[in-house]
Structure 1
């Protein structure tokens, strides 16, 4: 009988990417709507990607099942 494969969390796969150095990249929330009240600087900074905090990296990588 074949072993059952672990499934990747599909929502995590769409939200996170693994960088070449093994860190986890994420995109910032809050930039999709209600942007008229936000400053230009705030909206500009929301466009940039950020890294997942090191304490959360293992949890995210566990959802991705790549490492």
Structure 2
């Protein structure tokens, strides 16, 4: 699972949401994100407070906000 340049996080999130929501999948999702701003935000959240669903939510919200800003 790897985002290609310009690929939407939405596609990766859909794949991940269908899979088992565990720490390995969360790590795989975060590693697939190709957006530095999203990664910086995710890494600012303490690990014990970052659930799989929260990582997806933050990523999708940031991607949507960036699209709206354009």
The two structures share one fold, judged by TM-score above 0.5: no
Q: Which has the higher helix share?
A: 2
Higher Cα Rg: structure 1 or 2? 1
TM-score in terms of structure 2 length: 0.27
Q: Which has the higher strand share?
A: 1
